[in-house]
Amino acid sequence: MLSNPTSYFVLPSLRRMPVVSTRVPRSISRSLRNGRWHTTRTLATVAEDTFRIPIIDFGKYMHASSTAEKEQTAQDIVRGFTDVGFIYLNNHGIPWPHNLTHMHLLQSAEFFRLPLEKKSELAWRDPRANRGFVQIGRERVTQSADAEEIKQLREKAPDYKESMEIGRDWDKTYKNYWPQETDAPGFRRTMLDFFQTCHELHVQVMRSIALGLKLEETFFDDKIHEQYHNLRLLSYPPIKRQLLSGDGQARAGAHSDYGTLTLLFQDSVGGLEVQNPRTGQFQPATPIPGTIVINAGDLLARWSNDVLRSTLHRVVAPPLKAISETEGVTPARQSIAFFCNPNQGAEISCLPTCLVPGSKPKYPPVTTEEYIVGRLQATYV
């Protein structure tokens, strides 16, 4: 139930928040005046200069001493998803980069070091299940939903990464694929515990979003409790520069995510870039120790009538290490993405507080399963 059924969402005023600037380099020009060269540095546009991913102290929401403090943090989170589509979440309750998540990255890396034949026994098979191992070249993430177009992109410039997809383990229809305990000791238990930890954080962030959108704080609780999520372990192996120099080639192509939120745990290597929606330029989302990168997905954008932004992003090669005068190699990169989704059969239709009176929703209703399975069917071989 809405706290105020007649109200609709209005962008909160922006108070000063810690931000990470994704400021583009200054353009440099030189001119000859009075017989001497002069250098002029100017920013390309104001929009580029103000495109920044905010750092949100989630402890102020989780441990708020007043309703006003809680609402202010909720508004900051909504503003981040409205302006950029991405936030850095700090003081989120998951130890990072200490034992818990560090252990997950280590166990993930150990899994990907298994022989290909062992990993291939766990191969991804069905978009409805969305579980299993995906080897290098099988996936080509893109905004296109056309299977033939994606096939051509995959053949021309496949994503240079491998992944392991894990869903809710109690699902009666679709089962996870697990390596033998002797091959990956503790892997299953560690990842299932982490799955639950991420879901619990997802619930809290969705409560803050509800509050920031002028809904009851628990509005989303019964729409996300089925844990219809996907835990994706990602490995980006070292790769020579020449293999990433082709047209359209990247470690992971430009795309938006499908669900409500994505929680990204990454190492210090970097490579994630976010598209400035105003200029179209991609700008780095530099890893910040202790923070989780969180972005809004397509279904949350549809739910909010695009009040919240599902922003394009990609993974590119970090700085190369020279191995000869003409060739360099990228370092390996590890990350874990937790793709948060609404319940499988949840109807995603315009939230009442996100529709200005007299206007119509931008999107027709769709269920979570319809949307996500449709995107997955076109993405994989």
For 240-272, write each residue's pLDDT tens digit: 666 555 544 556 678 899 999 999 998 888 889
Tokens describing residue 361: 């929703």
Tokens describing residue 334: 């590890």
Mean pLDDT for the stretch of residues 358-380? 89
Q: Where are the domains of the chain?
A: 19-379
CB 85 within 8 A of CB 22: no
Cβ within 8 Å of residue 134, ≥6 positions away: 123, 124, 162, 163, 164, 165, 380
Backbone φ and ψ for 41, nearest 5 degrees, come out as -120, 125
Average pLDDT of the chain to the nearest whole number: 81
Tokens describing residue 144: 């296109």
For 21-78, write each residue's pLDDT tens digit: 444 333 333 333 333 333 344 333 334 456 899 999 999 999 999 999 999 999 999 9
Q: How far is CA 26 from CA 41, 42, 50, 276, in A?
A: 6, 5, 13, 16
Alpha-carbon Rg for the chain in angstroms? 22
Mean pLDDT for the stretch of residues 117-137? 92
Partnered with residue 41 across adjacent β-strands are: 28
Coil/strand/helix, residue 222: helix
Tokens describing residue 6: 């007649």
Whole-structure pTM value? 0.82
Q: Report, in this order, helix, strand and coil percent for the chain, each rounded to 5.
A: 30, 25, 50
Cα end-to-end span (Å), the chain: 43
For 154-175, write each residue's pLDDT tens digit: 444 456 789 999 999 999 999 9
Q: Residue 288: pLDDT above 50? A: yes
CATH placement of domain 19-379: 2.60.120.330
Tokens describing residue 224: 């996300």
